[in-house]
Amino acid sequence: MTDEFNTEIYYDDDADESHLETTTVAVLGYGSQGHAHAQNLDDSGVDVIVGLREDSSSRDAAEADGLEVATPVEAASRAEVVSVLVPDTVQPSVYADIESELDAGDTLQFAHGFNIHYNQIQPPEDVDVTMIAPKSPGHLVRRNYESGEGTPGLLAVYQDATGDAKERALAYAKGIGCTRAGVVETTFREETETDLFGEQAVLCGGIAELIKAGYDTLVDAGYSPEMAYFECLNEMKLIVDLMYEGGLGAMWDSVSDTAEYGGLSRGDAVIDDHARENMEEVLRQVQDGEFATEWVAENQANRPTYTQLRQAEKNHEIEDVGERLRALFAWAEEEETEDESVRM
Ligand code: NAD
Ligand code: MG
Ligand code: MG
Ligand code: MG
Ligand code: MG
């Protein structure tokens, strides 16, 4: 159960699927995670109902996959475990519809902590509130299950009304294949705050700004946009692949000594103390709820700022240059066309 890290990691032997034996699981939503959880649970012998609106375009897909489909309200009323897998921004309104279907001892199950952590959903005290969050997009959760490999995931218990919340969550994790690969225990707070910080400061926001800043610096200095694109964006994948396989060390080992010395001696001139202070400020806004409040209001107002920011990003010259250059690499993309979008 424990490995060399100071964190609990759970595997198949730690999970008892009999906790779901007499249970019906309602999977609300049939998108990236929903289709994978529903089919994996069904294949694991769990009784599953998919909850979708009458006019949902996902109904056909779920039925074609051999699953029973009902409205979210009907699915929740028949289930003891309600797995909330509609988009995070939609969850509060779907929850409002199904809340009265939650009975004492039921489980409200999530794959991300935003709405619970920031109180956008406030469940009754007599239900378990748990999270099993696969660390992969849904199509891999499904593919890994079918291939027998499984997908690593996170487990958290926010509310343990029955005294069995963790055991039930582990059974759910087993049902979708996560305990085959390992499930790491965390909290709703830690999962939510690290997820938001990571995507804002490093993975999505940080890296996009780093790429654009590098591109602009080269182009403003008179270098060709094509060269700037290759150096600052295209090669990013090669570098990240090395880090993914073997950490920073594998990357430093694989690049030339010149690149290694240049990177080691100049990188912290770019990501300097000021950039680190800015990261701390981004983290503060995540921790004190300022970001969450802003994002909830933004959605209520029909996303005016979001729409503007998206358009500005699309208008950056690097996107035009990239479109032309990527056409030259069309052959390389074929094997990845199956890939769906990755939600962070
Ligand atoms: P998604 O956008 O892929 O799918 C959502 C599904 O919800 C849609 O396919 C549809 O069936 C339904 N839906 C959409 N709009 C709706 C509406 N207005 N009312 C009712 N139903 C609606 O969502 P997702 O990416 O699978 O995310 C689900 C949850 O999983 C989120 O909490 C997310 O944070 C979490 N998560 C996602 C990933 C990922 O890689 N996609 C990874 C880990 C956790
Ligand atoms: Mg019920
Ligand atoms: Mg180079
Ligand atoms: Mg080297
Ligand atoms: Mg995220």
Q: Which residue has the tokens 């358009």?
A: 311
Q: Which domains does the chain have, with CATH numbers?
A: 9-186 (3.40.50.720), 195-336 (no CATH)
Q: Is residue 38 within 6 Å of ligand 1 at its C-beta?
A: no
Banded model confidence at residue 329, pLDDT cuts 50, 70, 90: confident
The token duo for 109 is: 């199950």
Helix (H) or strand (E) holding 333: helix 330-333
Nearest-atom index, ligand 1, CA of 115: 32
Q: Which of 49, 45, 44 is nearest to 25 (CA)?
A: 49
CA 53, CA 72: separation in Å to the nearest integer?
7
**Which of helix, strand or coil describes residue 107?**
strand
pLDDT at residue 7, rounded to an integer: 82
> Residue 124: helix, strand or coil by DSSP?
coil
Q: How confident is the model at residue 98 (pLDDT cuts 50, 70, 90)?
A: very high
Ligand number, closest to the Cα atom of 258:
4
Output the CA–CA distances (angstroms, integers) from residue 33 to 160, 179, 203, in the order listed: 24, 16, 20
112 among known catalytic residues: yes
Pair 102, 78: CB distance under 8 Å: no
**What is the pTM for the complete model shown?**
0.93
Calculate what percentage of the chain has a pLDDT beyond 70.
Answer: 94
> What ligand is nearest to the CA atom of residue 200?
5
3-state secondary structure of 68: strand
ipTM over 0.90: yes
Share of the chain above pLDDT 90, in %: 92
Does the pLDDT value for residue 291 go beyond 90? yes
- Locate the ligand 1 atom nearest the alpha carbon of residue 110 and give its number: 32
Q: Which residues of 225-249 are buried (b: 16+ CB within 10 A; e: fewer)?
A: beebbeebbeeeeeeeebeeeeeee
**Binning pLDDT at 50, 70 and 90, where does residue 5 land?**
low
Q: Starting at the edge strand that comes first in sequence, how are the strands of the sheet with 128-134 ordered? A: 9-10, 183-185, 153-159, 128-134, 107-110, 81-84, 24-28, 47-51, 68-70
Give exposure, 107-116, as e/b (b: 16+ Cβ within 10 Å). bbbbbbbbbb
Token digits for 207? 């890296």
Among protein residues, the one whose CA lies closest to atom 12 of ligand 1: 29
Residues annotated within a binding site for NADP(+): 30-33, 53, 56, 58, 138
Residue 334 confidence (pLDDT) above 90: no
Name the residue of 30, 33, 50 to mutate for ligand 1: max ligand atoms within 8 A of Cβ: 33
Distance, CA of 341 to CA of 344 (rounded, Å): 10
pLDDT of amino acid 206: 98
What's the pLDDT at 328?
Answer: 85
* CB distance 116 to ligand 1 below 6 Å: no
Summarize pLDDT for 11-55 with one digit per residue, the tens.
999 999 999 999 999 999 999 999 999 999 999 999 999 999 999
pLDDT-derived band at 333, boundaries 50, 70, 90: low
As given in the structure block, the two tokens for residue 303 are 């996303």
